[in-house]
Amino acid sequence: MPTSGIVTRQREHFYLVRVERHDVDVSGWDDLERIFLGEHRWWTLGEIEASADDFAPSRLAHFLADTLTGRVSNEPLDTGI
């Protein structure tokens, strides 16, 4: 996210949750999130792999491929940025 030249660090946690359906609630987003994130949608693995868009983490497709084939780590993974 843009930070006006201020160096920031953040640590994010991703969780695997399987659901039949889920609607994303953006009512808690602040103005910066609305500007920077713009929109959201659900992507297939193939769409992510074929896209020229930037994803965070940048190796998202790699981690999703493992997850979708049942290779889920019991330990935290360092996904990089």
Query: What is the CB-side half-sphere exposure of residue 75 using CA atoms within 13 A?
Result: 2
> What is the per-residue pLDDT for 2?
55
Measure the CA–CA gap between 42 and 25, rounded to whole angstroms.
Answer: 13
Residues 6+ apart with CB under 8 A from 64: 45, 48
Tens digits of residue pLDDT in 48-74: 999 998 888 888 898 888 888 888 888
Domain ranges of the chain: 1-81
Band of residue 3 on the pLDDT scale cut at 50, 70, 90: low
- Is the pTM here over 0.75, yes or no? no
**Using CA atoms, how far apart are residues 50 and 61, in angstroms rounded to an integer?**
10
